[in-house]
Structure 1
């Protein structure tokens, strides 16, 4: 569990303080990610792992020159709301690992935006939060309700696909890190995305239809196709093994962090217990980090 304090130092006198809190879910990569006709998009996959942020605003204090992502989110939110405070103190408590593709930065940024707004007695719409988040880095989109197609570079929501299915996941991280900002600046990214567009189009159609008709097997097939297609962009050395384990457990399919390190397994309702599945992976790969969690609808609390 990670705790971050980022206070802007007090001037040493009593100050009026406004407080707000918010929490945002992480993700298990994405159900689908790529481009269609050159436009980038992803289909969100929020999970029941959270980042909680509290913000305190004060009318006195000193300014800090170097701001991290959460501090930038708070400042951009204040600008959006037409407010200005000398002192912004941020505390974050998160179970989400960084640079793995589990939406940790987006969760921190989104929760900070809403907590800042709530300190002022305001509530931001998901579209406003996504627009602020996209100014900082590409967004995972879990501020939007349910499961949503978004342009992760602009933060624009394209289509709401309905609530999250009631499905459990096993999530595994074999190790390593990927910087989302650096990844999206790759010179070969456009050509690699163009190369996999036919598979991505098929994946998006299957996942979209599966979610809209509550056909989870169809959704799982689409997610698996997107995971496989992404091997030309960011290869997962253990994806073939992961798919084999998923087949052995009669899982609905697999998914990956398309710009991260983690892989997910979508378990069949009434099938293998998620704790048993996670324990199996831990026994096979004791050096991996493994979670079991569930898909949830996006949105802040």
Structure 2
């Protein structure tokens, strides 16, 4: 039985998001939460779709068309999508599902596509993220294009503050006020992207943190982040690297060096009113971006 496997990491929100120059841009980092996909032959029977995620199925069809195959052949594949990325929190769960599906079908077809090409393909389906690329970058989510690669966030972890509340990115972006408000924020976000670039070039984490902070406060015009000032105050008092938010989601990240013990900070957060909003508080590792080919962790298997 022929099979194909692929996986894609999620994010913890974005470092900066908004207008840069004359285009909407985002910059995010990946964490060790994954969407994993397996595709396999249907052996002539009716295919099994262990997913209701139409966008992933559409992406698989686009891959078939790209390589000159009949798109209808893609509809004969069995597909399973499994993910531990929270949905509706601004952690790129939808983009990761689509990307992992693309990689699984590339593995199945024994074909390759560059991250740039995959990003542009996925952007035909919905605004996308930079997670198909290894490095942190400034990215055009509408056209699926890297505007500038910045580098890696090495040896870092993130304390994730995840609320129960969810936001539909598609619905938020569809509001008439969204594009009006990001234009109002243009000066602030443009400066934030410039600071972010300088911070990565010089290795100045404080400058990266200032860029994230400015972008987060600018985003209050679009979507309020509960306890934002209090979270930043705790982060600065305990000398975390920076705080970043999900600009069209609800999660918040507090980034720190991976060798630090932050149990006291977690206890402080859980004993505060902040935990009334952010019901889940947990640590994940910051990792390189990029799609992974093959049976990534050995756990995604078709039940027999």
Is TM-score (shorter-chain normalized) higher than 0.5? yes
Distance 1:187 1:58, change over 3 A: same
Q: Which residue of 2 aligns with 1:277?
A: 265
Cα distance per residue 1:255-276 (max 9 Å; x no partner):
00010000111225655x2455
In structure 2, the partner of 1:8 is none
Q: What's the offset of the Cα at 1:236? A: 0.8
The equivalent of 1:289 in structure 2 is: 280
Cα shift readout 1:110-147 (whole Å, capped 9, x = no counterpart): 01001101101112211122122212221122001211
Tell me how far 1:218 sits from its aligned partner: 1.4
Structure 1 pair 192–21 and aligned structure 2 pair: CA distance change class (3 A): same
**Secondary structure of residue in 1 paired with 2:176:** coil
Q: Distance in 2 between matches of 1:178 and 1:57?
A: 36
Instruction: Tell me which of 44, 61, 78 is aligned to 1:60.
Output: 44
Contact 1:165/1:214 (8 A) holds in 2? no
Task: Indicate yes or no: 2:12 matched with 1:28.
Answer: yes
Cα distance in 1, alignment partners of residues 112 and 233 from structure 2 = 45
- Distance in 1 (alpha carbons) for counterparts of 2:64 and 2:268: 47
Matched residues in 2 for 1:282 and 1:54: separation? 38
| 1:187 corresponds to | 176
String of CA shifts for 1:37-84, please: whole Å, max 9, x gaps.
Answer: 441101121112111111114463447998622222222222222224
Q: Is structure 2 residue 229 aligned with structure 1 residue 240?
A: yes
Unaligned runs of 5+ in 1: 1-16
* Partner Cα separation in structure 2 for residue 173 and residue 118 of structure 1: 33
Contact kept, 8 Å, 1:170 with 1:266, in 2: the verdict is yes
- In structure 2, distance between residues paired with 1:53 and 1:278: 33
Local SS of the residue matching 1:188: helix
CA contact (8 A) 1:40 1:152 kept: yes
State the 1:279 CA deviation: 4.3
Is 1:102 the counterpart of 2:86? The answer is no
Kindly tell me the number of residue pairs found equivalent between the two proteins: 284
Q: Is the 8 A contact 2:28 2:137 kept in 1?
A: yes
1:78 aligns with 2:48: no
Matches within 5 A, 1:167-178: 167-178=156-167
**Distance in 1 separating the partners of 2:205 and 2:214:** 14
Report the Cα distance in structure 2 between the residues aligned to 1:209 and 1:35, rounded to whole angstroms. Answer: 17
More RCO (CA 8 Å, sep 6+): 2
Q: Provide the rounded CA distance (Å) in 2 between the counterparts of 1:237 and 1:188.
A: 20
In the alignment, what sits opposite 2:256? 267
| SS across alignment from 1:194 | helix
CA distance in 2 between counterparts of 1:91 and 1:153 reads 27
Q: Which range moves more in the overlay, 146-155 or 273-282? A: 273-282
What is the TM-score when the length of structure 2 is the normalising length? 0.86
Query: 1:200-254 CA distances to partner (integer Å, 9 max, x unpaired)?
Result: 1221111111112222221112111111111111111221121122122211221
State the superposition RMSD in angstroms. Answer: 2.2
Q: Secondary structure at the match of 2:287?
A: coil
